[in-house]
Amino acid sequence: MRGVDTSRPVIVADHQPKFREVVMNGADLGLFGHTHAGQIWPFSWIIKLAYKHTYGYFREGPAQFYISSGIGCAGPPYRIGTRSELVVLHIRFEKPASPGQ
């Protein structure tokens, strides 16, 4: 993320969740996949042990994140206990208040 103008909104889209890098580099929003929300129960518990967050929306510091379960599969072409999804996000950035307001 060298040379990125962080005075403007910065969105990072990556396959594997890299929360720390997004926060440390001043990005505003991280969009990820990779975990497939566990894909196959009961092995989904392994994913939950390996990753702090495995699915959905959350905040960490000033950054916001969304991890999608995705529409595909890793390995076997099925899911047990999770659902595929296609996510539509409506993103709006607000200008920060001017000093003194």
> pLDDT tens across 10-39, in order?
898 887 777 778 788 888 998 987 666 556
**Which residue type occupies 35?**
T
C-alpha separations of 49 from 40, 52, 63 in Å: 14, 7, 22
Predicted confidence (pLDDT) per residue in 65-91, tens digit:
898 877 766 677 767 777 778 889 898
- pLDDT tens for 31-69 read 987 666 556 666 666 777 777 777 889 898 888 889 887
Parallel/antiparallel/unpaired status of strands 29-32 and 63-67: parallel
Q: Domain-by-domain residue ranges, the chain?
A: 8-94
pLDDT at 17: 76
Confidence check: pLDDT of 101 > 60: no
Give dist(CA 60, CA 22) in Å, integer.
10
For 57-89, give one letter per residue: b (16+ CB within 10 A) or e. Answer: eeeeeebbbbbbbbeeeeeeeebeebeeeeeee
